[in-house]
Amino acid sequence: MGYLFKKNLWTLFYILFGLGLSLLVLISYMQYKNVENDLRMELNYLTNATKETTKHYFTQQEIILNILDRQLFDGKGIRNTENIHSLFQSILKINKAIAGFSVCGPEGNVLIISNEKKLSEIPNLRHYNSNFNMMFKKALETDRLVIGTVFFDKALNRWILPLHKSIRDKKGNVVAVTSVGLRLDNAQSIWKAQIEPGTELEIFLDDSWYRIYYSSHPPFRNPELYTKPLSIHDLEHFEAGSSLLKEAGMTFDSLRKSGECAVVHFKSPDAGTWLVSWQYLPEYRLWIHYHLTTDRILNKVTNYWIINVVSFIFIFIVVYYLFYIINSFEKRKSKELLYQAMHDNLTKLPNRMYLQKNISSWIYEGAPPFSVAFIDLDNFKNINDSIGHHYGDLMLVEVARRLKTSMPKGTMIVRHGGDEFIMLCREHETKKLSQTAQTLIKAISEPYEIESMEFTIGVSIGISRYPLDGTKLFELLSAADIAMYHAKRSKNSFAFFTSELKALRNRYSLIEQELRSAIEKEELTIVYQPQIRKDGTLHGVEALARWKNKKLGHIPPDEFIKIAEESGFMPRLGHYIIDRAIKEIGFLQKKSGSVFCLSLNISIRQFSEKGFVERFLKTIDSCSLDPSSIVIEITESLFMEELELIVETLHKLKRNKINISLDDFGTGYSSLSMLRKLPIDELKIDKSFMETFMVDKESEAMVKAIITLGKTLGFSILAEGVEEEKQFQRLNELGCDLYQGYFFSRPIGLSDLEKFVIEYRR
Ligand code: C2E
Ligand code: CA
Ligand code: CA
């Protein structure tokens, strides 16, 4: 889940990044378009303005020419020219744009001229140059002002733009042509004001395609651009340009007619893309033509783009940082969860899961040796029960703290559960390990002061070593556990997992394994040991289990019953023994015709099994045995378990006439009050007393006390382990009721028992 979220988080980031990037491109494109549009409008405006300025400029010149004409001609011919020079000078003074005048006859012969030269020195103007002649001829054909081509006037030492205008008599015949030489530098300064940065302006004469102005190429630098019409190459360019106009739905012709301004892209194969404008000035038959490199657009838009990219980067750094924070927050959260899952809440120590997950750093191929210690507090349950869990918890926290502080660096301490701790320690030499264990025991046995109460506790430690005692965690743990149980016997001590313990463990697992198939293999049998009355008659028999295994030989019941209990096999084994003994004795009683008691040993696990009593009664009933002839032998260890439940079960059995005998009596610590509480019929004095009571006064006193106590409470007293006659006689004197032991009979098989029963009946 966490992984998925993490993955999705970054996917989301990349999606956002992609979207952001697309948006950036889109915005940048739109900005480009906007800038281009702005520039188009600007160019449109500029072209229009230039057209107006140009028109205004030439109109002004035309007005001056008209005035001049009226001054020079009276309708019949040239007026008196006496004052003509002073007139010229005053006009030249007022109008700085004019470099000079001339008036010619229709044939080009100069009639009047503004400079001081003698007329005879001035050649016919029509021979001045071919362009001049061409424009002069045009002027003869029209009433309007004719703009000529640019030329260098040597006399004036200037670049001149000539203007021509014909003067007619009343009949309409041309009598003269007035020419004005405009100072090109003056006109240029007007047009120059119309140049915006990055733009170029050209003004052409229509039809002839002569330039009269080119902003970036003044005539003194590039005279050929003015003295010749457009080259074929340039015209081709304009043709390409006009085809672009066509794409925009316009032609040069339509522009001539409408006077509109066209702004279009102009793609030149060698000079890149331009934004160009064309506008026609019909009054003076001029083309106003601007061009603008797209660099200008790029320059302008680049600023926007830089802002875009910078903001994009900034935003995404912020977003990235945000995602990074969320991600690390998630990481931290899952780390915390993992920490919680792998640590004990109370002591904050790592738990079993942590141990499982991290064992690979201890166990691997070629790993150095280390040791595992199983630490179990002695009688911690008592503390919990007597003073409460609150103190128990505080004590565990303190134990954990002491474990941590008294251990060498690099030790892994794990709370295994309850009052059990596990330690993985790099130490592995016996001597040093023993010292470490002793330090630990000392540390833990120091008194605990918890909320002004003082406690002490013992600890048992079992130690196993890697790779000596196992190469897998569970092997090492079980080895340390076994060693710990061994240590428990002497309390507040430690024990190593030794070869003997190892052998015991191997035997244990072998027994456990073999026991599971013992019933099917019919390896289990039952022997019966007679119980005799004072008068020597047969009272009953105790059923004792026997197991002979192919691999293990005879296994004593003490051993396999314990293992059966621990491995959970006891209920099944117990039922088998009970069923078989009841069946065999039922059969024998019927066969022999004599009735006697059957004592059955019932272990702890069996007793607390659900439905035990019901099943037990049913078995007795099915063999038609009298329930009052059945005795159940229990030991005091039973009362360590849930007492309430056990007392209830005992009463249930008692109500069904089953007798109850307290086995191995005198070895445990049953209280008098408990004996009174339980529905007991019989006390079995433990066989260990038989060895001592004849010689040891204390032991004899104990046996006497047991008999007196039992009698007082109304129990019958059975002595087990009676091996000698004198033991029997002394017990008899002391008031014992029943006897069991080798003196009368060893535990015997069913057929021997049959003989025994027949013999004792007599
Ligand atoms: P226990 O119930 O105290 O059984 C008496 C033990 O004393 C038996 O050992 C018996 O053989 C032994 N014994 C009898 N007379 C003498 C004697 O004169 N001298 C000496 N030294 N020993 C004598 P066993 O058969 O080896 O049984 C040992 C224990 O195993 C039993 O102790 C009982 O606790 C347990 N056990 C045996 N069979 C069963 C069974 O079927 N079910 C259960 N739950 N436990 C059983
Ligand atoms: Ca017994
Ligand atoms: Ca016994």
Residue 123 CB–ligand 1 contact under 6 Å: no
Average pLDDT over residues 293-318: 87
Q: Can you give the pLDDT at residue 203?
A: 93
Q: Which of the four pLDDT bands, split at 50, 70 and 90, describes residue 681?
A: very high
Atom of ligand 1 nearest to the CA of 720: 15
Residue 458 CB–ligand 1 contact under 6 Å: no
Q: Which of the four pLDDT bands, split at 50, 70 and 90, describes residue 1?
A: very low
Atom of ligand 1 nearest to the CA of 602: 44
* Mean of all residue pLDDT scores within the chain: 87
Average pLDDT over residues 417-441: 92
- Name which residue sits closest to atom 20 of ligand 1, judged by CA: 721
- Name which residue sits closest to atom 29 of ligand 1, judged by CA: 558
Atom of ligand 1 nearest to the CA of 556: 26
R_g over Cα of the chain: 64
pLDDT in tens, 211-233: 999 988 888 888 888 888 887 77
> Cα separation of 622 and 485, whole Å?
43
- Give distance in angstroms: CA of 689 to centre of ligand 3: 11
Ligand closest in space to the Cα of 740: 1
Instruction: Report the range out of 117-131, 195-209, 224-238, 367-381 with the highest average pLDDT.
Output: 367-381
Residue 664 CB–ligand 1 contact under 6 Å: yes
**556 has a pLDDT exceeding 60:** yes
Residue 721 CB–ligand 1 contact under 6 Å: yes
- Give distance in angstroms: CA of 684 to centre of ligand 3: 7
pLDDT in tens, 40-64: 898 999 999 999 999 998 998 888 8
Strand partners, 712: none
The upper half-sphere exposure of residue 181, i.e. CA atoms within 13 Å in the direction of its Cβ, equals: 22
**691 has a pLDDT exceeding 70:** yes
Residue 742 CB–ligand 1 contact under 6 Å: yes
**18 has a pLDDT exceeding 90:** yes
- Name which residue sits closest to atom 3 of ligand 1, judged by CA: 664
pLDDT in tens, 125-152: 777 777 778 888 888 888 888 998 888 8
- Name which residue sits closest to atom 43 of ligand 1, judged by CA: 601
- Give distance in angstroms: CA of 212 to centre of ligand 1: 138
- Give distance in angstroms: CA of 718 to centre of ligand 3: 10
Work out the percent of the chain whose per-residue pLDDT is above 70: 94
Instruction: Report the range out of 184-193, 483-492, 558-567, 729-738 with the highest average pLDDT.
Output: 729-738
Q: Measured in whole angstroms, how far is the alpha carbon of residue 599 from the centre of its chain?
A: 67
Q: Can you give the pLDDT at residue 246?
A: 73
The upper half-sphere exposure of residue 198, i.e. CA atoms within 13 Å in the direction of its Cβ, equals: 16
Own/partner pairs for 602-605, CB < 8 Å, 24+ apart? 602/574, 602/578, 602/632, 602/633, 602/634, 603/561, 603/565, 603/570, 603/574, 604/565, 604/637, 604/638, 604/641, 605/565, 605/568, 605/570, 605/571, 605/574
The torsion of the CA quartet 22, 28, 30, 35, rounded to 10 degrees, works out to 180
- Give distance in angstroms: CA of 543 to centre of ligand 2: 8
pLDDT in tens, 80-102: 666 677 777 777 787 777 888 88
Q: Can you give the pLDDT at residue 631?
A: 97
Ligand closest in space to the Cα of 557: 1
Full DSSP string of 521-569 = TT-EEEEEEEEEETTS-EEEEEEEEEEEETTTEEE-HHHHHHHHHHTT-
Q: Which of the four pLDDT bands, split at 50, 70 and 90, describes residue 640?
A: low
The torsion of the CA quartet 393, 395, 400, 406, rounded to 10 degrees, works out to 180
556/676: higher pLDDT:
556
Contacts of 606 (CB under 8 A, 6+ apart): 570, 571, 574, 612
Atom of ligand 1 nearest to the CA of 543: 41
> Cα separation of 466 and 367, whole Å?
9
The answer to whether the CB of 301 falls within 8 A of the CB of 39 is no
The tokens describing 503, both together, are 């052998």
Residue 556 CB–ligand 1 contact under 6 Å: yes
Residue 100 CB–ligand 1 contact under 6 Å: no
Q: Can you give the pLDDT at residue 176?
A: 85
Pairing of strands 597-601, 538-549: parallel
Residue 529 CB–ligand 1 contact under 6 Å: yes
**Which of 526, 582, 599, 601 best tests ligand 1's pocket when mutated (most atoms within 8 Å of CB)?**
601
- Name which residue sits closest to atom 27 of ligand 1, judged by CA: 557
Q: Can you give the pLDDT at residue 241?
A: 65
**Which of 526, 527, 542, 544 best tests ligand 1's pocket when mutated (most atoms within 8 Å of CB)?**
544
- Name which residue sits closest to atom 10 of ligand 1, judged by CA: 747
pLDDT in tens, 644-655: 888 889 999 999
The answer to whether the CB of 704 falls within 8 A of the CB of 738 is no
Residue 530 CB–ligand 1 contact under 6 Å: no
**244 has a pLDDT exceeding 70:** no
Atom of ligand 1 nearest to the CA of 529: 14
Atom of ligand 1 nearest to the CA of 581: 41
Full DSSP string of 61-105 = HHHHHHHHHHHHB-SSSB---TTHHHHHHHHHHH-TTEEEEEEE-
**490 has a pLDDT exceeding 60:** yes
Residue 749 CB–ligand 1 contact under 6 Å: no
Q: How many C-beta atoms surround the C-beta of residue 217 within 10 A?
A: 16
- Name which residue sits closest to atom 15 of ligand 1, judged by CA: 741
Average pLDDT over residues 315-337: 91
Ligand closest in space to the Cα of 559: 1
Nearest to 534 by CA among 734, 759, 746, 723: 734
Contacts of 163 (CB under 8 A, 6+ apart): 58, 61, 62, 65, 145, 146, 147, 148, 179, 180, 182
Instruction: Report the range out of 8-17, 274-283, 684-693 with the highest average pLDDT.
Output: 684-693
Residue 745 CB–ligand 1 contact under 6 Å: no
